[in-house]
Amino acid sequence: MRILVLGGDGYLGWPTAMQLSQRGHDVAVIDNMARRAWDHEFGAESLVPICSLQERIAVWEAVSGKHIVAHVGDLTDYTFLEPVIKEFQPEAIVHYGEQRAAPYSMIDRRHAVFTQVNNIVGNLNVLYAMADHVPDCHLVKLGTMGEYGTPNIDIEEGFITITHKGRTDTLPYPKQPGSFYHLSKVHDSHNIMFCCKIWGIRATDLNQGVVYGVDTEEIVQDERLRTRFDYDGVFGTVLNRFLVQAVAGMPLTVYGEGGQTRGFLDVRDTLACVELALLNPAEKGEYRVFNQFTEQFSVLDLANSVKEVGKEFGLNVTINNLPNPRVEKEAHYYNAANTHLIDLGLQPHYLNDTLLESVLRIVQRYQGHIKESLILPSVDWRSTVNQPAPDVEVTLEEQQVGAK
Ligand code: NAD
Ligand code: USQ
């Protein structure tokens, strides 16, 4: 299959591109390297050093004999995107290429606007290019479990059947996202569903939970193939952050009570789910939603697991319940369905001590790179308004170009 991976330089996009090319697919990737530039705003970087996309592609070719084609450009720029899609004629597009951090989107107005423009316009451009040039292509779009929020009823996979005043219909599941980033994914979902309806596009929206882990079958073949590993207070996700904090000897940063419960999955299962969606495409005109996670944990559950495993490493791990910088429920009902991918054959890698130990070992290898100043949360949901305006209004793109 000819597969175009959008966001192919990112945490998930790069290992996905390698795995799909290993499986014999013809793979091209698009990325504008924005994720690397966003690090310059905070003086952050991936804990695990990562080579440039071009170097990783060259190493992958030497290791596997497989060639991945890279296109460096911005999805929001249709003059860049359209010819790539027109010429490559993808049979499937895996779309990871968005700004994905909730805290980044809550810094201030500029970051909120940037996140929504980047994500929604990029996604809309992809939909137009598909309709114009590859109408049979299957879009596999990464959405998020956070689109649903934390309702006091079971979460279904995208749709819910409701009887109201004696009439029954199956409708999109209500969305109550918790950040401008998560909202951008809701807006994407609506646009995709609409385009499936009006143009007959086929699409799978993967509502993914929080991903953890560092190793995939392909990555472990050469240290230069490693994917990024974020631990800072803006881009780091919770379990990856706790593992770094444990090694750094810093208390685990549980926000508030720690009863926040989310769906989680191993990075290897992200790749497996995407492959299952690709091999079992949506019908023409079909918009379907799979909830992509394998287990549910509360933040406190995770902190306690890291504390236990830390003991085996001789680490004295402590937990600090910080005032929650986010506006979210800290104790709530949470029960989400995730049967569609299991029905397609997903065999999950469940979180266990062996996995935690293997990530801890990688973190220990790069312990010297940990910047402790980046660990505490720096973005508060309540103070995203009334931020001092810059003297001269520059766009984030201009600021990032300046930082490079
Ligand atoms: P990432 O930030 O590491 O990778 C995203 C990549 O997209 C980056 O390399 C970035 O440069 C690129 N990109 C962003 N905007 C672009 C644009 N306009 N044009 C071209 N390239 C652009 O993120 P990730 O962790 O790999 O996540 C990938 C996707 O999966 C995201 O859409 C995210 O919302 C979703 N997701 C991630 C997680 C997680 O825990 N990491 C969980 C659920 C969903
Ligand atoms: N949390 C802590 N301490 C920390 C970091 C986070 O208690 O040090 C808490 C948060 O308050 C939140 C939960 O852990 O309740 C998850 O936070 P996170 O930063 O790990 O994940 P989130 O902001 O939800 O975003 C991540 C990815 C995003 C993806 C989402 C899936 O960055 O791209 O969409 O996970 S989901 O959570 O299902 O929406």
pLDDT at residue 404 greater than cutoff 50: no
Q: Which of 185, 212, 227, 231 is catalytic?
A: 185
Q: Which of 181, 212, 231, 287 is catalytic?
A: 181
User: Does residue 311 carry a catalytic annotation?
Assistant: no
- 319-322/138-144 β-pairing: unpaired
Domain with 190 in it: 2-377
Two structure tokens written together for 17? 């591109």
Q: Which helix (H) or strand (E) holds 159?
A: strand 159-164
Inter-CA distances, 106 with 380, 382, 387, 389, Å: 7, 9, 11, 15
389 falls within a domain: no
401 falls within a domain: no
- Which of the listed residues 5, 9, 94, 96 should we mutate to test ligand 1's pocket, taking the one with most ligand atoms within 8 A of CB? 96
Task: Name the residue with tokens 């990871």.
Answer: 96
DSSP character string of 334-351: --B--HHHHHTT------
257 falls within a domain: yes
The rounded Å distance from CA 88 to ligand 2 centre is 35
* CA atoms of 289 and 189, how far apart (whole Å): 9
Among 83, 55, 48, which residue's Cα sits nearest to residue 228? 48
Inter-CA distances, 154 with 159, 184, 337, Å: 12, 23, 7
How many domains, the chain?
1
Task: Name the residue with tokens 């990032």.
Answer: 400
- pLDDT tens by residue, 336-372: 999 999 999 999 999 998 899 999 999 999 999 999 9
Inter-CA distances, 336 with 35, 169, 274, 291, Å: 30, 20, 19, 8
Atom of ligand 1 nearest to the CA of 118: 18
- Which of the listed residues 41, 48, 98 should we mutate to test ligand 1's pocket, taking the one with most ligand atoms within 8 A of CB? 98
Q: By 3-state DSSP, what share of the chain in percent is helix, strand and coil, each rounded to 5?
A: 45, 20, 40
Find the residues whose C-beta lies inside 6 A of ligand 2. 100-102, 144-146, 182, 209-210, 237-238, 241, 253-255, 260, 262-263, 299, 326, 328
- pLDDT tens by residue, 140-192: 999 999 999 999 999 999 999 999 999 999 999 999 999 999 999 999 999 99
Burial class of residue 314, CB neighbours in 10 A (0-12, 13-18, 19+): exposed
What are the backbone angles phi and psi of residue 141, rounded to the nearest 5°?
-105, 130
Contact (CB, 8 A) for 135 and 200: yes
- pLDDT tens by residue, 67-111: 999 999 999 999 999 999 999 999 999 999 999 999 999 999 999
Query: Residue 225 has what DSSP assignment?
Result: G
308 falls within a domain: yes
- pLDDT tens by residue, 240-295: 999 999 999 999 999 999 999 999 999 999 999 999 999 999 999 999 999 999 99
206 falls within a domain: yes
Would you state the pLDDT for residue 163? 98
97 falls within a domain: yes
* CA atoms of 54 and 9, how far apart (whole Å): 10
Among 78, 171, 184, 183, which residue's Cα sits nearest to residue 131? 78
> pLDDT-derived band of residue 403, with 50, 70 and 90 as boundaries?
very low
44 falls within a domain: yes
Averaged pLDDT of the chain:
96
- Closest CA to ligand 2's atom 3: 254
- pLDDT tens by residue, 366-401: 999 999 999 999 999 999 887 766 555 656 666 555
Among 197, 188, 190, which residue's Cα sits nearest to residue 173? 190
CATH of residue 175's domain is: 3.40.50.720
* CA atoms of 402 and 404, how far apart (whole Å): 6
User: Does residue 270 carry a catalytic annotation?
Assistant: no
- DSSP lists the bridge partners of residue 288 as 204
